Amino acid sequence: MAVIAPSFKPVFALPHSLADLFLDFAAPYGVMDAPDLTAARITHVAPLDVAQQGAFSFLSNQKLRGQLLDSQASVIALTQADYDDLVAQHAVNELTIYVCTPAPYLLYAHIARRLYFNTAVQAGVHATAVVAPTARVDATAQIDARVVVGERVVVGAGVHLKAGVVLGDDVVVQDGCVLHPNVTVYEGCEIGARCIVHAGAVIGADGFGFAPTKAGWLKIAQVGRVLIGNDVEIGANTTIDRGALNDTVIHDGVKLDNQIQIAHNCEIGKHTAIASCVGIAGSTTIGENCMIGGAAMIGGHLNIVANTVVSGATAVPSSIEQAGQYTGILPLMLHRDWERNASLIRHLSDLRKRLRGLEKAGSANDVTKIE
């Protein structure tokens, strides 16, 4: 098999001036030393070590400081301290504009967003789309091929429904949302403004509700909805179940990675970020500004307080009432070592009983000696 060497291929956008790209950044994040904002035209973003003219790059990791010396980027965002160090080494590139800011990474994120996310919506409904007669689709929305829009659906201004999206009856998608190919939103669910839902996500499928009987499992009707706030991003193939009675709620600013499962009647607080492959069982409430690492397992009917960090692959079987970082992961070890340790873990309960017995016996002997 041929080995494919890694390489960097820029993704080019239409040229932008710094003045355009910097709009709305300086006020919240503070550009300390703004150069002539008309002196460069930016066409792409790139890492420091491979950046060429037309590229915007940044330094936020001190381990990469040496890459500043040879970078050919047109614009580099960095802290004042890093720029002063560059000056002290007489390594300033006269062809590069250096932008000093306390938040280089945030400036990069802002620049990249303005550079690549400004694709205009092409208003109109594709000939192969099926839109119910009772649906209300704003005239500025773009409805692509094979989209299905159900009865009484509301699609807001500037919404882009990409190929194969399905909106069930009574769904609401507010202004500025982008639903990528093959997203499915079941009946009655609502999505707030400026949300991004990536390909294959399913919003509002039935929660996993069954009542045990002697004859087997009896399905319980799931009559709640999924309510999603503003500025939420939902990753590819993530699933969010509708509520059994009350609604499943995803609040403003939540960021969900790919392949996450959120069960019925969960509530996710504002600006919480959850990484891929996390499973959250039903009726769990996660507070604001939490971070949940990849493949964490969150039990049902529990609460996680705001500002909590749960490390990847950690199991959370009970409520977390005090904010902090929680980790429950055994370190990597050789398989034979794991087998030995696993054997000990299986016998921990018996060892505990024996230890308590010895402690009690020891206490009794001590009493006898004193008497």
Active site positions, annotated: 264
Query: Parallel, antiparallel, or unpaired: how do β-strands 261-262 and 75-78 relate?
Result: unpaired
Q: Under a CB-based contact definition with an 8 Å cutoff, are residues 118 and 158 in contact?
A: no
| Residue 126, φ and ψ in degrees, nearest 5 | -65, 150
**Integer Cα distance of 185 and 126 in angstroms:** 19
Residue 289: name the closest of 315, 310, 319, 312 by CA. Answer: 310
**Integer Cα distance of 299 and 321 in angstroms:** 14
Q: Under a CB-based contact definition with an 8 Å cutoff, are residues 234 and 253 in contact?
A: no
**Integer Cα distance of 240 and 265 in angstroms:** 10
Q: What DSSP string runs through 123-135?
A: -EE-TT-EE-TT-
Rg (CA), the chain: 27
**Integer Cα distance of 245 and 172 in angstroms:** 19
**Per the structure block, which two tokens stand in for 264?**
């019925």
Q: Where are the beta strands (DSSP E) in 229-284?
A: 233-234, 239-241, 248-250, 255-256, 261-262, 267-268, 273-274, 279-280
